[in-house]
Structure 1
Amino acid sequence: MTLGVDEKINGVNLGNWLVLEKWMKPSLFAQCGEDDEIWMHRTMEPSRLEALLRRHRESYVTERDFIAIASRGYNLVRIPVPYFVFGDVEGHPGCIEYVDRAFAWAGRCGLRVLLDLHTVPGSQNGYDNGGITGVCKWCRDPQAVEYALTVLERLAERYRDEPALYGMEVLNEPISWLVYRTAPSTGHAKVREEAKGSGHVPMRFLKNLYRDAYRRLRAILRPESVIVFHDGFRLGSWGSWFGKEGMTNVMLDTHIYIIAMETFVPVPSMWLYRLFVAYGKAMIRRAARHVPVMVGEWCLMNALAQRQRNAAERKAVYREVARLELDAWNVSAGQIYWSYQLLGGDAAEGERRGGNLDGWDLTRVWRNGWMAQPGDGEAWP
């Protein structure tokens, strides 16, 4: 399914392919015993590391997966890439050839690609998805900031003329003060000394970064390519800023997870889900008065479904949550599921852990019929 100018995004994230997160495939980290990708790279012998990453990247996502995504009626893939994507950072094997392949596959399948810079040196959030757990001081290092901006420029120059390019996302999840203070990763760096100086990404810095990134990318990209900015966990704080800055063809990305909300409530319930999703819908409507908004990450995962005793009851909960969320995200420019898959076909690991992660994995959602799909004869927002 191609993505027209006025068509809503119906996409999926290719998480854990080029940016690794241990919880998504723990067996990848068995050789090193580390908890995040940066420490994996630091501690593994280089030839073993390169062999491990090559095997994973070659098999975790292939053209067959792009064909499956397109056949299900999806029109976009969001591809998280690391700051060392070009292979020019010592000790960190690059992966640009896999991005090249992704564009070729997308072109043949009629999918569009949103490139997402998911990590930066020193991390923008302290999560494992930022590369290194418990460290968050990238924004305090001008050299590291400049390096990230040059990576964006190089990606834009390489793919600007690719017909499959939908756009580029400047940075994934730069963290706010509140989220930083409540994040389980905060204060849990492997080396405490390395985490000194860590903190949230201030709004003033973020606006300056986005202004600079827009200027650089717009000078390279085709006019129709969208430049995407994550809301920094501050969806309600942007107002008309993008318009006042004179930015054109931009989009604001927000990430909304029921499972994240559940960490603050003792007992999961459908009425709480309804309130949470309704609040998200209202916030999207408000922000979208000024700038198009996408829900760039979301999933069905919730504790209520996990508590159900049999498959039919679990399915009923997931179907209701899917209906609630898709109806809410329909007020946005579209949605992108996190993530396409977990575990990557590791049957034994899937048997051990899949039931505890199933709502994150879109392939399991498909197999179990937990969400209506475009063209399956059921209501689709």
Structure 2
Amino acid sequence: MNIKGVNLGNWLVLEKWMSPALFDGTTAEDEYYLPRQLSKEAYESRIKVHRSSYITERDFAEIKSFGMNTVRIPVPYFIFGDCPPFIGCAEELDKAFAWAAKYGLQVLIDLHTVPGSQNGFDNGGLSGVVKWAQQPESVEFTLKVLEKLAERYGCHQALWGIEIVNEPLLEAAWDTFNSMERYPAVDPEMAKGSAPITLGFLKEFYIKAYRRMRKFLPEDKAVVFHDGFDILAWKDFMREEEFKNVVLDTHQYLMVAEMDGCQQTLEAYVKYVKEVLEPVIEEMEQYFPVICGEWCLFNSLACGHDTNGGRSVLNGVEGITEETFTPEEKKKIYTTLADVQLEAWAKGSGYFYWNYKLLLDTVNDSNWIGWDAWDFGKCVVQGWFPVQK
């Protein structure tokens, strides 16, 4: 199956910039600190309302109508409700599976956060801390969560696969992302000793996870692993007969290309996709089915200013007050980038757009000009992204 998918980010794993109102009345920048700054009642009430309204059955019908066949659902390590003060969300995932089955969609479960954090990003649940790999008890806890996910959903008709862990930050990308400065830690003591994950550790962890998940996961369900932002490092990995139906996930954003020095012009973006990304996808597809598990149309050019690698209003980067381009010019930028990126992912085994929706008012709040490109529904409706046949 060629994957045409979309991510349901910010539903079960929160990201402040995607729905800032959830964090009102707090200084929390991530999910770790939100329940520590609200009363138990206020936190539980907010989370329950958010989860029940942000994604519903109707969204699955809409995703199907856009021509998609798969959803990638980020879940937190506390999905099973065993890590207070956080609230579990297995019931919501159960509902998602029922909706997916009804509308003929497949599901990729993506373990998006782990205790101690694998990357220090805000979307890892704990900003500015990268200590998961140094904590054997956290690593073991993660393996148990993966086992439980495999046991609970492994034989479900709507399951396409399970992704072991989202975006572990390897040494190769440590300086590019600079997560210690980009997402400053609230507690410097907690962040002390943070370090990139080594390739050796990650390979060993993936093999352990594969073996423990396969006890419950039939071979027709995929085990997906993320490249840690070092896609070419995996050529000699899992080549043995034992490993069946293993899929490589790579995340490729134009804002990361900008961070790596790509000029903020349409020509430069197109050249980057064609000459850097496409050949790499094609090369790695010889070893594994390759999916681009996260990408989007967002870029600084269409925002009208340098976003410093996708830093938002919430990171203190002010937007502009008026559009730089006419709607027609903007549409040309986005449709060109949609076409060239879809061509690149077609050299592999498919893609998942990030993200299905955001709770941002990009019309009335001029600070957010250009940020509707992260919202798949808005991209489709505005004709920036072609409805898939």
Could you give the per-residue CA deviations for residues 65-121 of structure 1, whole angstroms, max 9, x where no partner exists? Answer: 000001111000000000001111121111111001000100100000000000000
- 1:180-215 Cα shifts (integer Å, max 9, x gaps): 223243141111000011111100000110010000
**Which letter maps to 2:36?**
R
Supply the distance in 2 between the matched residues of 1:32 and 1:51 (Cα, whole angstroms). 15
Give 1:266 shift: 7.7
Q: Name the SS of the counterpart of 1:296 in structure 2.
A: strand
Match of 2:173 among 179, 191, 201: 179
Aligned to 1:242: 238
Residue 233 in structure 1 maps to residue 229 in structure 2 = yes
2:212 is aligned with 1:216: yes
CA gap 1:252/1:49 in 2 versus in 1, 3 angstroms: same
User: Counterpart of 1:358 in 2: which secondary structure?
Assistant: helix
Q: Using a 3 Å threshold, how does the CA distance of structure 1 residues 155 and 50 change in structure 2: closer, same or farther?
A: same
**What's the secondary structure of 1:244's corresponding residue?**
coil
Distance 2:217 2:10 in 1: 27
Q: Is the 8 A contact 1:259 1:303 kept in 2?
A: yes
Note the C-alpha offset of 1:350: 5.8
Match of 2:344 in 1: 328
Confirm or deny that 1:311 pairs with 2:327. yes
1:51 maps to amino acid: S
Whether 1:296 aligns to 2:293 is yes
Other-structure match for 1:351 = 364
Query: Aligned residue pairs: how many?
Result: 366
Is the deviation greater in 366-375 or in 265-274?
265-274
Per-residue deviation, residues 219-277 of structure 1 (Å, max 9, x unmatched):
11112000000011110011031213731101000000012212343841122112221
Aligned to 1:119: 113
TM, length-normalised to structure 2: 0.91
* Aligned partner letter, 2:277: G
The separation in 2 between residues aligned to 1:351 and 1:54, in whole angstroms, is 27
SS in 2 for 1:262: helix
SS at match of 1:146: helix
Task: Verify the 8 A CA contact 1:242 1:291 in the aligned structure 2.
Answer: no
* Post-superposition offset of 1:42: 2.0
User: Separation in 2 of the partners of 1:116 and 1:212?
Assistant: 17
CA contact (8 A) 1:38 1:132 kept: yes
CA contact (8 A) 2:294 2:352 kept: yes
- The alignment-based identity, stated in percent, is 44
Cα 1:194/1:350, change in 2 over 3 Å = farther
Partner of 1:4: none
1:277 aligns with 2:273: yes
Q: CA–CA distance in 1 between the matches of 2:328 and 2:178?
A: 33
Instruction: Give the corresponding residue for 2:58.
Output: 64
**Secondary structure in structure 2 of the residue aligned to 1:335:** strand
- The structural deviation recorded for 1:298 is 0.4
* Residues in 1 aligned to 2:148 and 2:7: alpha-carbon distance in whole angstroms: 22
Query: Greater CA deviation, 30-39 or 8-17?
Result: 30-39
Say which SS state the counterpart of residue 107 (structure 1) adopts: helix
Segment drifting more, 364-373 vs 107-116? 364-373
CA contact (8 A) 1:116 1:172 kept: yes
Root-mean-square deviation (CA), in Å? Answer: 1.4
Task: Supply the distance in 2 between the matched residues of 1:336 and 1:182 (Cα, whole angstroms).
Answer: 23
CA–CA distance in structure 2, aligned partners of residues 193 and 106 of structure 1: 43
8 Å contact from structure 1 (residues 87, 95) kept in 2: yes
Residue type of the alignment partner of 2:300: A
Contact 2:77 2:111 in 1 (8 A): yes
User: Given the alignment, which residue of 231, 250, 259 partners 1:263?
Assistant: 259
Residues 201 and 371 (structure 1), Cα distance of their counterparts in 2 relative to 1, 3 Å cut: same
User: How far does the alpha carbon of each residue in 1:146-180 deviate from its partner, in whole angstroms, 9 at most, with x for none?
Assistant: 00110011111111121000010000000011322
Normalising by structure 1, we get a TM-score of: 0.93
Tell me how far 1:32 sits from its aligned partner. 1.9
Q: Which runs of 5+ in 1 are unaligned?
A: 1-6, 376-381
Quick check: 10-19 or 259-268, which moved more?
Answer: 259-268
CA distance in 1, matches of 2:386, 2:191: 44
Mapped to 2, the partners of 1:264 and 1:287 lie a distance apart of 21
Q: Secondary structure at the match of 1:241?
A: coil
Q: 1:223/1:245 Cα in 2 relative to 1: closer, same or farther (>3 Å)? A: closer
Could you tell me whether the CA contact under 8 Å between 1:340 and 1:361 is conserved in 2?
A: yes
Q: Is the 8 A contact 2:75 2:111 kept in 1?
A: yes
Give the counterpart letter for 1:271 in structure 2: E
How far residue 50 of structure 1 moved from its aligned partner, in angstroms, is 0.5
2: CA distance, partners of 1:266 / 1:317: 16
Distance 2:246 2:262 in 1: 38
1:364 is aligned to 378
- 1:379 maps to none
Q: Is the 8 A contact 1:123 1:136 kept in 2?
A: yes
